[in-house]
A and B are shown apart, each in its own frame.
Chain A
Amino acid sequence: MVNLVIDGKKIQAKEGITLLEAARENGIDIPTLCSHESLEPSGACRLCSVEVTKGNRSKIVTSCIYTVEEGIKVNTESERVKKVRKLIMELLLARNPDSDVIIELAEKLGVKPQKRFLPDHDKGKCILCRLCIKTCETIVGVSAIGFSSRGATKIVGTPFDEESDVCIGCGACAYVCPTGHIQMETTGDTRTIWGRTFKMTACNVCGRYFAPEDQLKYISQKTGVPLKELSTCTSCR
């Protein structure tokens, strides 16, 4: 066990966990966008920045990738943290002025759009946090999407911006996206995502369209469960 202080509260934390985890276990809220319990943290959105004091020195760190240390003092609401968080939020607000999630979060943190950061209108709602890419790679296991290009023109998408032949239309990327950038439309027997339209399977009991055919085929292939068994939706099973 590691002893540390977060916001004046003495805390005992398991060795190896991150500051963010330790804080959340103890009911201390730190705003985040790119953190997800099922995926490795990456420190992409920087919103979880906190101030760590070791002896006479203090520094700003990203709490989602900083592991707990014996004897450190952590401040999640110091003036310095507030200043850093405000700047990060202002930049996010300028990058994604149309994202409801970001607008709401900015309001919660009391951050307003700044004139000195000209708003972007070509970035959609994407903050380039990589959650969708990691989900597709490690959880779904197909890697249908990735980044392309770099710097100001970096975007997430399928290779060559074409219909992906490995995508199974599961929609996990749209589900995990923290800002609602990824568009997925499901209407009756079809679902459209990343420019490709998938045929949906109807449940063989209740007749409700519940999953893309390609997804069920993929699950059947991976798990060995026959396709017929998978063609019953979860509520009828």
Chain B
Amino acid sequence: MNTQKITKNKIKGIIGRHEAEKTSLIAILQDMQNEFRYLPKEALVAVGKHLDMPLARVYEVATFYNAFSLKPRGRYLVEVCAGTACHVKGGFNLLAKLERELKIECGQTTKDGTFTLEQVRCLGCCSLAPVVRIDNDIHAYLTQDKIPRILKKYRK
């Protein structure tokens, strides 16, 4: 999944796929998030205009859900599970290792825009703990020494 260039036409195209009703708001924001990997300001402004909704209301929804990001995310989203099972199995060590390997802190994006590192609560596969999800691939029973090789695969 590549980070897409943000153009007015693309924003228009996404909005145009939905009906101009208030109930379309979240669906439109989800499509924007999928397309751009984050919600650019100009997109939120355009959505508000299309739905005849104040920007303050759109902003409320966009900042409420963790699924939406207002900061540009990298090409690959690295999510370290911090749920109970993964935590007990040492998920925090994986996060520390990833921070060292990527030279960023949790919540940041690498300079080249390849990886964004985030922590999530539970990915729903506790029997595979500890897990890290990269771009929707689950890496199960992960240990620190496997991390460099995995990252290399994505860097290519």
Judge if B138 is at the interface, Cβ distance under 8 Å.
no
Residues of A within 8 A of B141 (CB): none
Size category of the A interface is 10 to 19
Residues of A within 8 A of B96 (CB): none
Evaluate contact between A148 and B59: CB separation under 8 angstroms: yes
Evaluate contact between A137 and B54: CB separation under 8 angstroms: yes
Evaluate contact between A146 and B59: CB separation under 8 angstroms: yes
Interface residues of A in 183-232 (CB under 8 A from B): none
Evaluate contact between B57 and A143: CB separation under 8 angstroms: yes
Evaluate contact between A149 and B63: CB separation under 8 angstroms: yes
- Of the listed residues B56, B59, B60, the one surrounded by the most CB atoms of chain A closer than 10 A to its CB is B56
Evaluate contact between A143 and B54: CB separation under 8 angstroms: yes
Residues of A within 8 A of B63 (CB): 147-150
B54 CB, min distance to chain A CBs, angstroms? 3
Residues of B within 8 A of A142 (CB): 54
Interface residues of B in 32-58 (CB under 8 A from A): 41, 44, 54-58
Judge if A166 is at the interface, Cβ distance under 8 Å.
yes
Interface of B, helix, strand, loop or mixed by DSSP: helix
Evaluate contact between A159 and B64: CB separation under 8 angstroms: no
Interface residues of A in 143-158 (CB under 8 A from B): 143-150, 158
Evaluate contact between A148 and B60: CB separation under 8 angstroms: yes
Residue interface mask B49-91, A partner, CB < 8 A = 1: 0000011111110011000000000000000000000000000
CB within 8 A of A160: which of B41, B54, B57? B41
Interface residues of A in 135-185 (CB under 8 A from B): 136-137, 142-150, 158-160, 164, 166
B69 CB, min distance to chain A CBs, angstroms? 12
Evaluate contact between A166 and B54: CB separation under 8 angstroms: yes
Interface residues of A in 110-153 (CB under 8 A from B): 133, 136-137, 142-150
Evaluate contact between B41 and A146: CB separation under 8 angstroms: no
Evaluate contact between B64 and A166: CB separation under 8 angstroms: no
Evaluate contact between B59 and A144: CB separation under 8 angstroms: no
Interface residues of A in 99-114 (CB under 8 A from B): none
Q: A149–B66 Cα gap in the complex (Å)? A: 9
B31 CB, min distance to chain A CBs, angstroms? 20
B48 CB, min distance to chain A CBs, angstroms? 9
Q: A133-B56, A159-B44 are in contact. List 12 more A-B contacts (CB 8 A).
A: A144-B56, A145-B56, A146-B56, A146-B59, A147-B60, A148-B60, A148-B63, A149-B63, A149-B64, A159-B56, A164-B56, A166-B54
Q: 17 pairs across A/B with beta carbons < 8 Å?
A: A137-B54, A142-B54, A143-B55, A143-B57, A144-B56, A146-B54, A146-B56, A146-B59, A146-B60, A147-B63, A148-B59, A148-B60, A148-B63, A149-B64, A159-B55, A160-B59, A164-B56
Please list the 9 inter-chain residue pairs (A to B) with the smallest Cβ-Cβ separation, ordered nearest first.
A143-B54, A146-B56, A159-B59, A148-B63, A146-B60, A159-B55, A149-B63, A143-B56, A150-B64
